[in-house]
Amino acid sequence: MAIFDPLTSIVGVAQTLIDKLIPDPKQKADALMKLEEMKQNGDLAVIAGQNDINKIEAANSSIFISGWRPAVGWVCVFALAYAMVVSPILAGVCLIFGKAVVMPAISIEFLGSLLLGMLGLGGMRTIEKLNGVASK
């Protein structure tokens, strides 16, 4: 069984992206040269090191260390529930009782992009679990 090397994986993904996204051979060669420079300078090692830190952080049993990702998700869920359900219903109920109330607005665009990104990561994690890549 081969040992997973995050640096090699990052370089491989970057090379694939460069091959697919840059059609001009000169620009492609320049991008590959820049990638090799980053690899030699240790920039990619920093990225790989951050991945290792993320794994350790996520495995921690303390809610304050491993729980910030779920906390961000729950904040998004509560904010979207407020903006899409609670606020309109509460404003309608207040209006029925003769009180015109202006509810504070929340930026749905920002929350939507954050929540969709997190849902994408959650979906990828589910696929990893289904494929047996991750045991936890």
Can you spell out the DSSP letters for the chain? Answer: -PPP-HHHHHHHHHHHHHHHH---HHHHHHHHHHHHHHHHHTHHHHHHHHHHHHHHHHH-S-HHHHSHHHHHHHHHHHHHHIIIIIHHHHHHHHHHTT----PPP--HHHHHHHHHHHHHHHHHHHHHHHTTS---
Give CA–CA dist 127/131, Å, rounded: 6
Count of other CB atoms within 10 angstroms of residue 120:
10
Tell me how far CA of residue 111 lies from CA of 43, 74, 87, in angstroms.
31, 11, 16
Confidence at residue 89, expressed as pLDDT on a 0 to 100 scale: 93
pLDDT tens digits, 107-126: 878 877 877 777 777 777 77
Q: Each residue of 26-74: pLDDT tens digit?
A: 888 888 888 777 776 666 666 666 677 777 767 777 766 667 667 777 8
86-103 per-position pLDDT tens digit: 999 999 999 999 988 888
Amino acid at 11: V
